[in-house]
Copies of this chain bind each other. A is one copy, B any other.
Amino acid sequence: MAILAALSNPHRLRIIAALTSGGRNYVSQLSRELGISRPLLHLHLQKLAEAGLVTSQLELSHDGKALNFFEVTDFGFELTPSLIAEAAKSLTTNPDK
């Protein structure tokens, strides 16, 4: 559910695409490549991370800057009516929001 919500946004799809094709990257660099503001990218990365679609690890560059690298987890989900029906059961009992 959180995964579907995370993927229902053009920016976030492009973020995953960029990280998939170009490999891991840090926030500021990625924001330049995608042409979206850093705070906005930060927010989207946050949602993707909450959904477990990306992970981050803070690293120190050679010149001492702290860079937060993101990369996609190699997830795999299948979307079929029956699987959705199964997943939807957790909605009635567990009011997600």
* A interface, CB within 8 angstroms of B: 1, 3-5, 7-8, 10, 13-14, 16-17, 19-21, 72, 74-82, 84-85, 87-89, 91-92, 96-97
Q: Are the CB atoms of A96 and B13 closer together than 8 Å?
A: no
Is chain A's binding surface mostly helix, strand, loop or mixed? helix
By beta carbon, the residue of chain B nearest A87 is: B13
Q: How many angstroms between the C-alpha atoms of A82 and B16 in the bound complex?
A: 9
Q: How many chain copies does the complex carry?
A: 2
Given contacts A13-B1, A85-B16, A85-B20, A80 and B91 within 8 Å (CB-CB):
no
CB proximity of A48 to chain B, nearest CB, Å: 11
Identify 24 residue pairs between A and B in the complex whose beta-carbon atoms are under 8 Å apart, listed by A's number: A1-B8, A1-B10, A1-B13, A4-B4, A4-B7, A4-B8, A7-B8, A8-B8, A13-B91, A14-B91, A14-B92, A16-B81, A17-B89, A20-B82, A20-B84, A21-B85, A72-B81, A74-B81, A75-B79, A75-B80, A76-B78, A76-B79, A77-B80, A79-B79
